[in-house]
Amino acid sequence: MTSEPSGSVSPAEFRTAMGRFGSGITIMSTLQGGVAHAMTASAFTSVSLDPPLVLVCVDKGVRMHDAVLDCGYWAVSVLADSHRELAERFAKSGRDLYSQFDGVPISAGPKTGCPLVVGALSWLECRTWATYEGGDHTIVVGEVLSLGASEQGDPTGLIYYAGQYREVRGK
């Protein structure tokens, strides 16, 4: 007779194992009461082509969590290698909400008005489609309302791998 597998995985062990999976780097943004909120997100992926859906996982302990759930609209900018400093900036907790975009080249999304990073490899504007409990995160699924992609010939993207930002070249 076999029993159910059991065990305990520490957060440090889990982080190390998952750190061996390279993931793209994005800036997720939203508006709450006319104030822009943003965070760096690597837990982002496509979900469906028809309808076009994506998901991002948002830590329940950060101010972005309530802002994105409250607004219901959000944007994602897929970062190029030249955006490493922005990835680091928006990954830090506790930064001043009202000056966090100072010096950052952004434009307002055409459908939602959410901030988009100028020069991003691609961008998407979304309406929250569904949310799901995910432990200490909320899984936010969004319907893509509009999008765009860079016209660069050979873009260089930014990924996170083994605890470090790294470059990945196209083609």
Residue 62: give its domain's CATH number: 2.30.110.10
> Residue 137 has which token pair?
């995160």
Domain that holds residue 120: 22-159
Considering the domain boundaries, does residue 33 fall inside one?
Answer: yes
Considering the domain boundaries, does residue 14 fall inside one?
Answer: no
Burial class (CB in 10 A: 0-12, 13-18, 19+), 26: buried
Considering the domain boundaries, does residue 8 fall inside one?
Answer: no
Q: Which residue has the higher pLDDT, 170 or 102?
A: 102
Considering the domain boundaries, does residue 137 fall inside one?
Answer: yes
Provide the number of structural domains found in the chain. Answer: 1
Considering the domain boundaries, does residue 15 fall inside one?
Answer: no
Q: Is the pLDDT assigned to residue 57 strictly greater than 80?
A: yes
Q: Is the pLDDT assigned to residue 40 strictly greater than 70?
A: yes
Give pLDDT, residue 157: 84
The helix/strand/coil state of 13 is helix
Please report, as a single letter, which amino acid is at residue 150: S
Considering the domain boundaries, does residue 65 fall inside one?
Answer: yes
Rounded distance between C-alpha atoms, residue 113 and residue 24, angstroms:
24
With CA atoms as reference, report the closest residue to 115 among 32, 25, 23, 9. 32
Q: Is the pLDDT assigned to residue 1 strictly greater than 60?
A: no
Q: Are 142 and 54 in contact (CB under 8 A)?
A: yes
Torsion of CA 145, 148, 168, 14, to 10 degrees: -10
Burial class (CB in 10 A: 0-12, 13-18, 19+), 105: exposed
Strand ordering across the sheet containing 44-48: 35-41, 26-32, 73-78, 122-134, 137-149, 53-59, 44-48
Q: Which residue has the higher pLDDT, 67 or 150?
A: 67
Considering the domain boundaries, does residue 94 fall inside one?
Answer: yes
Please count the residues of the chain: 171
Bridge partners, residue 130, by sequence: 141
